[in-house]
Amino acid sequence: MAAADKAKPSKTMLSLPVSVVVLAIAYIYFSTVFVFIDRWLGLFSSPGIMNAAVFSALAAACALTYRAAISTDPGRVPATYMPDVEDAESPIHEIKRKGGDLRYCQKCSHYKPPRAHHCRVCKRCVLRMDHHCIWINNCVGHANYKVFFIFVLYAVIACIYSLVLLVGSLASDSIQDEEKNGRSSFRTVYVVSGLLLVPLSIALCVLLGWHIYLILHNKTTIEQYHEGVRALWLAEKGGSIYKHPYDLGPYENLTFVLGPNILSWLWPTANHIGSGLRYRTIYDLPKGASTSK
């Protein structure tokens, strides 16, 4: 785990986008618990206490996984890394697009392991780099991909849950206002929350769906958008069918990211990920084994 330790990135974790996310989490939490739940169910009623407890647990999970995604180093390439082209257990050695040489980072002055890429923002190579995310002020890579994915999952559930409570509270509030012939003093909260939650829920659902697709095919965003398109074109040009070498089948791909123990899938730990210098490929599978199960 030396190459994928969980040391904090050298740059500061705080940025304007991170501050916006923190404020959004805080606003959604307080408006949901102290306005939506309180005015609809009553904060001290049994349904109110139950919903407040569940939503508080979701908010805590979002906050903890978000902090972990920010503070976890995505994976550094060891300064001593050197690809072994004679290693029989490593059938794939990624090469440059031009020249066919082993991939070498001129800026970092070292060879690149498979699936590693140089991040211009972080100014270093990142193991199994997916993308650089301004909302966590960090790269999403080998060591923090799982916790990033779990954060997005919890955030989607929390946003949809908050929307349901908002609609229920708004309907209840409207009935009470009609009976009292008055106007709701929380109308501004409802409007702001709706304008925040609706587009946020849609964006997060799209992001979650995208990463579910990537996980099931064992791809990164870079491999899907950039390398995958070129590899597909080259394969079609050569009259062959392109097969992503790291796609081991949906279940194997899922356990590769979330871990072999299903009980730990929603927990932000990644003790199963290994060094990040080598990954299983379709060439590691027994002959005749299917990757479609």
Q: What is the pLDDT of residues 136-190, one digit of tens each?
A: 999 999 999 999 999 999 999 999 999 999 999 998 877 665 555 555 678 899 9
CA dihedral angle for residue 11, residue 14, residue 17, residue 20, rounded to 10 degrees? 170
Helix (H, G, I), strand (E, B) or coil at 84: coil
Least confident of 1-10, 46-55, 57-66, 215-224: 1-10
Query: Which one-letter DSSP state was computed for residue 141?
Result: -
Residue 10 lies in a domain: no
Residue 269 lies in a domain: no
Burial code (b: 16+ CB inside 10 Å, e: under 16) for 20-48 equals ebeeebeebbebbbebbbbbbbeeeeeeb
pTM of the predicted model, to two decimals? 0.86
Dmax of the chain from CA atoms? Answer: 82
| pLDDT recorded at residue 182 | 52
Annotated active-site positions, please? 133
Strand partners, 104: 111
| pLDDT recorded at residue 158 | 98
**How much is the CA Rg of the chain, to the nearest whole Å?**
23
Residues 6+ apart with CB under 8 A from 232: 242
Q: Which of 185, 107, 138 is nearest to 7 (CA)?
A: 138
Q: How far lies 34's CA from each of 103, 155, 170, 250, in Å? A: 55, 19, 13, 42
Domain of 96?
Answer: 16-176+186-264
Residue 181 lies in a domain: no
Instruction: Count Cβ atoms below 10 Å from residue 115 Cβ, excluding itself.
Output: 25
Q: What is the pLDDT of residues 36-81, one digit of tens each?
A: 999 999 999 999 999 999 999 999 999 999 999 999 999 999 988 8
- Whole-number mean pLDDT of the chain? 84
> What is the rounded CA–CA span in Å between residue 124 and residue 114?
15
User: What letter represents residue 131's amino acid?
Assistant: H
Residue 11 lies in a domain: no
Summarize the chain as % helix, strand, coil (round to 5).
Answer: 50, 5, 40
Q: Which of 73, 137, 81, 126 is nearest to 270 (CA)?
A: 73
| pLDDT recorded at residue 229 | 52
Q: What is the pLDDT of residues 86-135, one digit of tens each?
A: 554 555 555 555 544 688 899 999 999 999 999 999 999 999 999 999 99
Query: Which one-letter DSSP state was computed for residue 242?
Result: -
Q: Which of 85, 89, 94, 151 is nearest to 128 (CA)?
A: 94
Which of 52 and 289 is assigned the larger pLDDT? 52
Residue 246 lies in a domain: yes
Strand partners, 151: none
* Count of structural domains, the chain: 1
Residue 274 lies in a domain: no
> What is the rounded CA–CA span in Å between residue 99 and residue 83?
17
Residue 78 lies in a domain: yes
| pLDDT recorded at residue 283 | 76
Residue 108 lies in a domain: yes
